[in-house]
A = this chain, B = another copy of it.
Amino acid sequence: MPSIELSSKQTADFELLANDGFAPLTGFQGKADYDAVVETMRLADGAPWSIPVVLGAETGEVGETVDLIGSQGEALGTITIEEVYERDLKNEAEKVYRTTDDAHPGVAALYSENSRVIAGPIEANTLPDHIDIVKPYLLTPAETKAEFAKRGWKTVVGFQTRNPIHRAHEYITKVALEGVDGLFLHPLVGETKSDDIDAETRMRCYEVLIDGYYVKERVLLGVNPAAMRYAGPREAIFHALVRRNYGCTHFIVGRDHAGVGDYYGTFDAQHIFDEFEPGELGIEPLKFEHSFWCNLTGSMATSKTSPAGPEDKVFLSGTAVREMLTRGERPPVEFTRPEVADVLIEAMAGAEVPA
């Protein structure tokens, strides 16, 4: 039987197709769905879907069943090819990423893929391998839904980041949790750009933070195997749909969700939810502004809840934080919990300080 070796992004897509994280998809998308997704943010049948899930490949013909090999060499399963077609990568970039600039990491990744794609249902023999620290948290949608039910959670808010978790993230997750039964922390552990903090370090941050500062009965930590697209607004919808599939009723959308550089407006990823009818996505976005420690009110806050001027807001740029950590210094406790800072300091020991 012929076989195709998948990239790490394709391997992650396979995992989410196999575990129902990408429901209602059951395979790599054919042309009707692909075109509808790119042009209308919907599948051909009208259901919301914002990012193409396609398999670019040089080989494979209609009617063949082809072995799919994961990026770690796993014999994942097969695809039964029903369609082979060409896609317009530049049009996909323009519509999905809102830019054709190959300095955008998601666009660059897209341009590196084959424009020839093969489409059809998959069969999974096994799920992809992961690093050890991720393994205990590799819950499938069926498993998370069972756990939510066991805990009696009727309303669950999902939280996505690709970044280490600072006080700002802790604040919005807790504000969201006050209004629902449970919190599903669901960091993305698939491929990210090379200057993002690695998944292992981020998982350690979550572990120490939950251990010290969260109520264990009210929080569940899982991982989203997906690769980052950095597609901003379109990816916010994509992230929400995936969390719906994992059983969440609500999803946190912060400032510049899934964004990179200056490609998207700060709140574009919140506004895009208004393009869907209420209830249509099957999950409700909870939209948050930029949060910070406020010395005036003695609390975390946003510009909605603190009247403080800039002098009373604890603000540090990402670069400043990275420099402090690389030098072995903890950021202020108002910015990062000390236990999280120590994980980051250990991980960054010896790293080059950015210019």
Contact = CB atoms under 8 A, between A and B. Distances in A.
B286 A179 contact: yes
Contacts of A176: 179
Interface of A: 171-172, 174-179, 212-216, 218, 286-289, 296-307, 333
A279 to B, nearest CB: 11
A302 to B, nearest CB: 6
Contact of A216 (B171, B179, B297, B307): B307
Contacts of A171: 299
A305 B177 contact: yes
Contacts of A286: 179
Nearest to A216: B307
Contacts of A177: 304-305
A300 B303 contact: no
Contacts of A303: 215
A288 B177 CA distance: 10
Interface of A is mostly: mixed
A271 to B, nearest CB: 13
Contacts of A297: 213
Contacts of A215: 303-307
27 contacts: A171-B299, A174-B301, A174-B305, A175-B178, A175-B179, A177-B304, A177-B305, A178-B288, A178-B304, A178-B305, A179-B179, A179-B286, A179-B287, A212-B307, A213-B297, A213-B306, A213-B307, A214-B305, A214-B307, A215-B303, A215-B304, A215-B305, A215-B307, A216-B307, A218-B304, A218-B305, A299-B300
A174 B289 CA distance: 13
A-B complex: 3 closest residue pairs judged by Cβ atoms: A174-B305, A175-B178, A215-B307
Most buried by B among A289, A296, A298, A300: A298
A313 to B, nearest CB: 13
A151 to B, nearest CB: 12
Contacts of A174: 301, 305
Contacts of A298: 333
Contacts of A333: 298
A218 to B, nearest CB: 5
